[in-house]
């Protein structure tokens, strides 16, 4: 539970929130449930925290603030505050003060059954119910802090073995939680 608390604390600090508890709304393992099961669990909910356990053994987390209003694969991405958490390394990626980059969450245009979540220096593209297809893989990508167009190795997210510089990852399990704020 320290992982959850660390992530909630970072979100509260970064976005001036007061999230005090998490309620699980979905859990799924590889190929266990269809996309719609995951999407229906998170539609119209705010402050969603996601946790993905990868086949390589690493864990990554993500957060988005505003609710998605549709489960459609052709819906527009929402512009919202986001964060990616490399749980295995304890490193966070979020919009920093002075960053002009607009962070988003929503359907990925190149893989209509996948979702994309962006921060100024990283993005994850994933199947929301923990699927994996080699022709449409899950990806965690990082970018240089000095040049957003230049990709960097995403070790802080994926914790892959030395020499494995692939951005792809296989999902073993995914969980979504809704954060509850004290006003």
In the chain, what are the domain boundaries? 2-181
Cα-based distances in Å from 9 to 2, 53, 120, 179:
10, 21, 20, 12
Encoding tokens for residue 124?
Answer: 């994850």
Cβ-based neighbour number of residue 161 at 10 Å: 8
Please tell me the pTM assigned to this model: 0.88
pLDDT tens series, the chain, 183 aa: 588 899 999 999 999 999 999 999 999 999 999 999 999 999 999 999 999 998 888 888 999 999 999 999 988 999 999 998 888 777 778 877 777 778 899 999 888 799 999 888 888 999 999 998 888 899 888 765 555 555 555 555 555 555 556 678 889 999 999 999 987
| Spatial CA neighbour of 134 closest among 161, 105, 111 | 111
């Amino acid at each position: 539970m320290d992982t959850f608390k660390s992530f909630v604390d970072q979100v509260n600090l970064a976005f001036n929130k007061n999230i005090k508890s998490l309620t699980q709304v979905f859990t799924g393992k590889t190929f266990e449930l269809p996309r719609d099961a995951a999407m229906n669990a998170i539609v119209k909910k705010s402050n969603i925290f996601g946790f993905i356990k990868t086949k390589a053994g690493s864990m990554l987390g993500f957060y988005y603030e505003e609710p998605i209003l549709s489960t459609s694969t052709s819906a527009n991405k929402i512009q919202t505050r986001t964060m990616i958490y490399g749980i295995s390394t304890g490193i966070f990626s979020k919009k920093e003060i002075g960053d002009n980059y607009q962070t988003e969450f929503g359907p990925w245009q190149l893989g209509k059954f996948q979702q994309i979540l962006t921060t100024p220096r990283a993005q994850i593209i994933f199947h929301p119910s923990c699927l994996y297809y080699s022709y449409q893989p899950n990806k965690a990508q990082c970018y240089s802090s000095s040049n957003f167009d230049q990709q960097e190795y995403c070790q802080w997210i994926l914790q892959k073995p030395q020499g494995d510089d692939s951005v792809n990852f296989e999902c073993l399990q995914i969980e979504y939680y809704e954060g509850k704020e004290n006003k």
